[in-house]
Amino acid sequence: MFQANDLIYYGNTGVCRVEEVGYPPDQSPGKAGHLYYKLAPLFETGMIYVPVDTPVFMRPVITQEQAQAFLAELPKIQDDEFSSPRRAEVVDHYRSMLHAHTCRSLACLIKTLSDKADRCSALGRHLSAAEQDFKKRAEHLLYGELAVALGLPELEDAAALVEHALKT
């Protein structure tokens, strides 16, 4: 169970701070209710109340050492070679990469879609709206976790580190 002030990676929201563990404001401890986490997303607005036993993916944020090791491995990440003529299968595949909730899968998705965007651009085309959304979401999730793990003040700082590592 997470504690107040823990930094966690929550579902497709990304990095959140556990503000408190308790009962939501509209539920008193005397009722037959469940404990909730009150989560404050670090790079989004709002507050999230989620049951402690939620099936939504949660894990601790990676450590600084894990982040540095990941950045060192980034140049070795290859494009994902999944291919299908069926758009729905491609979308499902990209969604599964997001839902793997690992820095490696997010970086692979970013690299794959960035390289595809470059190829499309050379032909005077663009990524589909869905592909642009997947890329933007993966960037947000990866850069947020790296920024927190490395103590960087801005997502853009983490983005610069990732972009540099992917190009080497």
- Count Cβ atoms within 10 A of the Cβ of residue 102 and give its class: 0-12 exposed, 13-18 middle, 19 or more buried: middle
- Count Cβ atoms within 10 A of the Cβ of residue 144 and give its class: 0-12 exposed, 13-18 middle, 19 or more buried: buried
What range defines the domain where residue 53 resides? 7-59
- Residue found under tokens 């503000």: 19
Q: Are residues 53 and 84 in the same domain?
A: no
Instruction: Look at the chain and report how many structural domains it folds into.
Output: 2
Q: Which structure tokens are listed for 124?
A: 């005077």
Q: Which residues contact 113 (CB under 8 A, 6 or more apart)?
A: 94, 127, 131, 132, 134, 135, 138
Residue 27 has pLDDT above 80, yes or no: no
**pLDDT, average across residues 107-132:** 94
Q: Are residues 31 and 113 in the same domain?
A: no
Domain assignment present for 158: yes
| pLDDT at residue number 34 | 81
Q: Are residues 42 and 114 in the same domain?
A: no
Strand partners, 7: 17
- Residue found under tokens 């539920």: 27
Tens digits of per-residue pLDDT, 78-115? 999 998 999 999 999 999 999 999 999 999 999 999 99
Taking residue 23's Cβ as centre, other Cβ atoms within 10 Å add up to 17
Q: Are residues 109 and 149 in the same domain?
A: yes
Q: Are residues 37 and 107 in the same domain?
A: no
Domain assignment present for 81: yes
| pLDDT at residue number 163 | 87
- Count Cβ atoms within 10 A of the Cβ of residue 58 and give its class: 0-12 exposed, 13-18 middle, 19 or more buried: buried
